[in-house]
Structure 1
Amino acid sequence: MADNRWGKRFPTELNGRFGLQQTRRYGMIRDVSLFGLQISSSVCFPEGSLLAVTIHAMSDKNIVLEGRVRWQTRLEQRSMPNKRFGECYMGLQIVRFLEGEDSFRDLCFELCWEHAQKKKLERTVH
């Protein structure tokens, strides 16, 4: 599958809830960008589904958004490190924010800065 996303995604681990109309399912936000995110959970939704998502960010404010499932896959191999067997991974494109858009953007910029610092450190070590 071609990677058509615009912008860099940054790894993170944030608790979240999601669902078709209500956020009843629990999941882990695995990476974020200004335009999308990846969720891992025991539940998969079909491509094209519009999901309600609540992210419990490090700040006191929740981030509430709607996102469309662009891809989904269920992990069937046990040999992949840091991934749970049977876990579903979904890539969401953000459609709109209902709450916390500024908090989400701040989170992305913070993760971008951390990523840049790690890369800078790696370059000085080698």
Structure 2
Amino acid sequence: MVKILVSLGSNIYSKQNIDRARRMLAYYFPDVVFTQSIITTASDGKYPFPFRNVLAVFHSDLPLDEVIQKLKMIEFAMGRQPRDKDAGKVIIDIDLLQYGDEIVRPDDYERAYVQSLLTQLIS
């Protein structure tokens, strides 16, 4: 079993979409633990609406590519469309940050809100 860290973000009906994504993650990964949510704004001005962000940690025997596939399947099931991002709309974004000892997305891992939320998982 490897430890997996993911981030969840939404800026459209964010509370409902994050809650739905939590339920779907818990279905596939029953030991999942979530942080509280935090509200952030994108610094690049590309997204007009604030984001609700959450971190989740769970364990799995699945290979890295299968974990990514499950996360993308959840995004698709929730209605995420590639063209939505161009409109500044993110129904749900689930990013794999860490798989075992490997930091998969180092730039995302270093974001201030991720570092802030990580303290909730450590304590």
TM-score scaled to structure 2, two decimals? 0.32
TM-score scaled to structure 1, two decimals? 0.31
Name the structure, 1 or 2, with higher relative contact order (CA <8 Å, separation 6+). 2
Bigger helix fraction:
2
Give the greater-gyration-radius structure (CA). 1
Bigger strand fraction:
1
